[in-house]
Amino acid sequence: MAKLFGTDGARGVANTELTCDIAFKLGQAAAALFGRTVVVGRDTRLSGDMLQAALGAGIMSLGGTVLDCGIIPTPGVALLARELHADCGIVISASHNPPEYNGIKFFDGQGFKLADEVEAQLESFVMAGGAADADLPSGDEVGVIVPVDNACELYVSQTVAEEGLPFDELKIALDTGHGASSLTTARALEQLGAEVIVINDDFNGTDINVKCGSTHLEPLRQLVAATGADLGIAHDGDADRVMFVDSQGNEIDGDVVEAVCALDLKRRGQLADDTVVSTVMCNLGFTKCMEAAGIKVIQTNVGDKYVLAQLREGGLSIGGEQSGHMIFLEHNSTGDGLVTALQFLAAVLRQGISVAEAASVMQRFPQELINVRVTDKHAVTDNPAVAAIISAKNDEMAGQGRILVRPSGTEPLVRVMVEAPTHEAAHEVAQSIADVVKAEMGLVE
């Protein structure tokens, strides 16, 4: 078996790479390693029923109780694991990936994602074949499923209760991407008084993330234009991330959202240690915006679990990724698209300006990303020719740009990212480096 856990749980094509056997053994692993009460939720994928049945069977085979939340956003499971005093939480979702994929994500009893070493224990349990027959209970000691019929209502009510501002002056266009937020986000925004026009809030299991949601903003742009909305909000399939567009359809990504919210927290004296957390992929414009405001930026590896680890270690308030994963630790223990939307809107309303004006605090540097398919992605870190071209191009830019070359966490790719004062300069530098990577490491045809 290949390595099971990536940057965000176990993931693969359902029933081919992520099988029922793996799900069953991961359920056993959860009951064996964490305890016998497990909150379980899923997104809207067709394979969710199948994998949840297998996962739940694994939990119950060791005497565990499945608190079944049904279809619910990933951050809802994190919150309910904590609120229902469970031993852990599990979400069956492949987030922003296409419908044929699925995944299994874990949270501890406090709603935090697992450290790498804990995921390694789960993986070892699965690779060892799961629980031994001698360890399996029988009779009245086997586990059960307990439905949590009001799971989405609990998540929405808890989230809305923490937001003090009314949204009754806002007209919001919303794209839920045929995903789990179809059951939650419009309800939350309407409870706060907003007028909400929503699309893609139906689902059939095979349409999640398909040409919609946070990775495909064009339907949202069209809805904003057609309705005259003040802004648009788009989630991915499990709603742990969110992207925005302003009233003119301009994209507002996670870097801009974090900048707006961090500045709002600082103005109100609530930004812990005047520090924020982002990843190495954040735009150079974000770091310059924060520096100008006297805010320190800590950068981590790509992956919200690394952002979370830094937040917890430093006792900090806010961290996020350009992709729209944002963590507000005072509101939830993981990336939460609904919390992020509410915090961003509140930050804008407190200033009494438009979304576009709020977003203008950060000027993005043009960014070029080229993915190079290679035979050995990890070899890039020790390749002298690649190091030489990176050094030469850094010298040419003389501090007026940034280069990041790294292996992909999930695919046989080397990612070449360049930021520069112009799109043309960014493209030229990125292409020069990508050409050397191809020549040195062998393009897979």
> How large is the angle between the packed helices 47-61 and 20-33, nearest 10 degrees?
40
Neighbours of 269 (CB within 10 A): 7
Is residue 415 within 8 Å of residue 371, measured between CB atoms?
yes
SS3 at position 407? strand
Integer CA distances (angstroms), 40 to 136, 141, 184, 280, 284, in order: 21, 20, 17, 32, 39
CA distance 36 to 299: 37
- Ordered alpha helix ranges (H), 2-113: 20-33, 47-61, 74-83
Task: Indicate which residue of 47, 61, 93, 95 is catalytic.
Answer: 95
CA distance 332 to 339: 8
CA distance 253 to 130: 41
92-104 burial code (b ≥16 CB/10 A, e <16): bbbbbbebebbbb
136-170 burial code (b ≥16 CB/10 A, e <16): eeeeeeebebeebeebbebbbebbbeebeeebeeb
Is residue 45 within 8 Å of residue 14, measured between CB atoms?
yes
What residue type is 79 in one-letter code?
L
Is residue 62 within 8 Å of residue 34, measured between CB atoms?
no
Q: Which residues pair with 251 in a beta bridge?
A: 245
360 belongs to the catalytic site: no
Is residue 102 within 8 Å of residue 10, measured between CB atoms?
no
Catalytic residues: 95
